[in-house]
Amino acid sequence: MSSRNIAVVVLAAGKGTRMKSDLHKVLHPIAGRPMLLHLLAAADTLSPERTVVVTGAGRAQVEAAVAPRGARIAVQAEQLGTGHAVMQAREALSGFEGDVLILYGDVPLVRAETMRAMIARLNAADAPAVVVLGFRPAEAGAYGRLIVADGSDRLEKIVEFKDADARERAVTLCNSGLMAARGESLFDLLARLGNDNASGEYYLTDVVELSGAAAVIEADAGEVAGVNSRGELAAVEQAWQQVRRARAMADGATLIAPETVWFAHDTTIGRDVTIEPNVVFGPGVTVADGATIHAFSHLEGATVGSGATVGPYARLRPGADLSENARVGNFVEIKKATIGVGAKVNHLTYIGDAEVGAGANVGAGTITCNYDGYFKYRTVIGAGAFIGSNSALVAPVAIGAGAIVAAGSVVTRDVAADSLALARGRQEERGGWAKRFRDAMIARKKGK
């Protein structure tokens, strides 16, 4: 790729009315990350000198989302077309010398490799002033068409479908809207745009003819899929998931029913991991080699150690950290807690704000009572401790190493190592009482 500086301009000023949402269109998530941030993450790998996001409607939401990335903001107050939108970035790019990559916030799956290819073509020996990214969809429909010179990648013009004649509409190479241009000439070209067209807008595509020297490269249609509706959002999500599932399996994980597993944008899966059907990974999950995630489990913000098992029907919430060979079973919820090496939390249990030591066993129905309505408190269970079923550990509390908590106990004080804690009412038995009760009730009922 060229050594010239790169600037990225992302158009995100559209109202997105078809989404029917209070959330800005480009902030709707794909794999747990706003689509705009997917695009910016890919662009960041090019190490751009400047990144400019052109906003309009919903400006405050977009600005808040990109602020941590240091992107500059330009505002398109009136929606007068894509060419007009790029014009708004002029001040933000003042003094910039290099190549400008123009992207769309609602086209989130463009790969960094494709962006690099666009910049490389812009800096090829024949040095076109503009490079346009094209694609060939199964149905060209109402996409703008790219008209190229026979046998070359030289782009003669881009024509919008509504302005195209029958010959031009027969062309299958379509315009994605993405473009790379030389910064030193881009704004001079934009200043020459007119709006004599069916929409009365300033088309960015018209810079192709104005430049007199443009080229086209092609990308896969799925890579440039746009999102304008909830249906299109679901389709792009599905496309992203299919690629990610294939990559997980290629990297050595077993997915029993791949189409039922849903990854987040940052999910990390090790080798020899087995993932059973209907598992959902939220953001922030790492699964180490040899772990097993059983069916119908949901993980978010969690770390699963090597050889550990999760589920079925388990929920790991943010801060859950399972050590090597730990076991978390059915209908167990773990939140902000560390489960030690080989420890077991197998059934119908809630462990929150806690530390469970190596080799400890937490019985069915146990809960850590970590919240008093105002503050959270911590529970510590020592190595090798045994917590009997249906126990309530009222935090803050510590159970010593090797201690046993009898089933059904409500523990409110620390338990010393290797001790037995028995905290339940004394059992009483009254012989024959049940039969006398039944007889009395039957006689009473007959008397009525």
Q: Which residues contact 83 (CB under 8 A, 6 or more apart)?
A: 190, 193, 201, 202, 203, 204, 205, 206, 207
Q: Which residues contact 307 (CB under 8 A, 6 or more apart)?
A: 288, 289, 290, 291, 324, 325
Quote the CA–CA distance of 361 and 374 in Å, as a whole number.
29
Active site residue 265: no
Burial class (CB in 10 A: 0-12, 13-18, 19+), 346: middle
Quote the CA–CA distance of 49 and 100 in Å, as a whole number.
10
Alpha carbon of residue 354 to chain centroid: 27
SS3 string, the chain, reads: CCCCCEEEEEEECCCCHHHCCCCCHHHCEECCEEHHHHHHHHHHCCCCCEEEEEEECEHHHHHHHHHHHCCEEEECCCCCCHHHHHHCCCCCCCCCCCEEEEEECCCCCCCHHHHHHHHHHHCCCCCCCEEEEEECCCCCCCCCEEEECCCCCEEEEEECHHHCCHHHHCCCCEEEEEEEEEHHHHHHHHHCCCCCCCCCCCCHHHHHHHHCCEEEEECCHHHHCCCCCHHHHHHHHHHHHHHHHHHHHHCCCEECCHHHCECCCCCEECCCCEECCCCEECCCCEECCCCEECCCCEECCCEECCCCEECCCCEECCCCEECCCCEEEECCEEEEEEECCCCEEEECCEEEEEEECCCCEECCCCEEECECCCCECCEEECCCCEECCCCEEECCEEECCCCEECCCCEECCCECCCCEECCCCCCCCCCCHHHHHHHHHHHHHHHC
Quote the CA–CA distance of 244 and 251 in Å, as a whole number.
10
User: Could you tell me which residues are beta bridge partners of residue 133?
Assistant: 217
Q: Which residues participate in catalysis according to the annotation? A: 347
